[in-house]
Homo-oligomer: A and B are copies of this chain.
Amino acid sequence: MANLDAIIKENAENTERITQNTQGYVISNNLHGTIATSTYDNTISMGIIKLLCGTLVDTARSAVRDLDCTNDLTFLRVATKKCEYLIAPEEEFTIVVVQ
């Protein structure tokens, strides 16, 4: 699989266009639990990675499998009073868009 950073560079233009009307986004490198790219500062980015890409995705994935072991999580939308977190969990990376 091509290097995650290379993929991000290749898709930079698309990413900018798609995320124009959003508050921001974070892409986490799931293998290392690090920030692949982000529009936020380090503290907010790591908070999103730890709490959403990590804990929440893991909890959602295991709940889905516990309810039906042949099923799997594909996407999560967390609506809140102030914004909405759109979470796309892939194997090597997870994309979180805040709108």
Name the residue in A60, A73, A76 with the highest tally of chain B Cβ atoms < 10 Å from its Cβ.
A60
| In the assembled complex, A33 has its CB within 8 A of some CB on chain B | no
A-side interface residues, number (CB < 8 Å): 28
Q: Are B51 and A78 in contact (CB under 8 A)?
A: no
Indicate which residue in B48, B56, B68, B74 contacts A59 across the interface (CB closer than 8 Å). B56
Copies of this chain held together in the complex: 2
Indicate which residue in B48, B66, B72 contacts A80 across the interface (CB closer than 8 Å). B72
- CA–CA, A67 to B53, complex, Å? 13
| In the assembled complex, A34 has its CB within 8 A of some CB on chain B | no
Sample of 12 further A-B pairs with CB below 8 A, known A51-B66, A64-B78, A76-B76: A51-B63, A55-B59, A56-B63, A60-B78, A68-B82, A70-B82, A71-B82, A72-B80, A73-B79, A73-B80, A76-B78, A77-B79
10 A/B residue pairs, CB under 8 Å, sorted by A: A55-B63, A56-B63, A63-B78, A64-B78, A70-B82, A71-B83, A73-B80, A74-B80, A76-B78, A77-B79
